[in-house]
Amino acid sequence: MAILFDWYENPKTKDKQGEELTLHPRIKLNGSTTTDELRRHIQEYCSLTETDVLAVLDALSHFVGRELGEGRQVHLDGIGYFVPTLTCTEPVTLETKRKSTKVKLKNITLKISVKSGENQKIFGSITAKEIAENLKEQYKIEIDKKKIDLKEPIKVLGVTTVSIKLFEGVVGSLKVQVL
Average pLDDT for residues 47-56, to the nearest whole number?
A: 88
Our CA dihedral for 109, 61, 112, 119, rounded to 10 degrees, sits at 90
pLDDT value of position 111: 84
Query: Is residue 32 a contact partner of residue 48, using CB atoms and an 8 Å limit?
Result: no
Q: What angle do CA 165, 168, 171 make, to 5 degrees?
A: 35
Cα–Cα distance, 98 to 155 (Å, whole number): 37
pLDDT value of position 45: 92
Q: What angle do CA 44, 49, 52 make, to 5 degrees?
A: 115
Q: Determine the 3-state secondary structure of 6 from DSSP.
A: strand
pLDDT at 70 over 70: yes
Strand partners, 28: 4
Return the minimum-mean-pLDDT range out of 1-15, 35-49, 106-120: 1-15
Strand partners, 26: 6
What confidence category does residue 129 fall into, taking pLDDT thresholds of 50, 70 and 90? very high
Average pLDDT for residues 5-17, to the nearest whole number?
A: 73
Average pLDDT for residues 16-44, to the nearest whole number?
A: 79
pLDDT value of position 138: 80
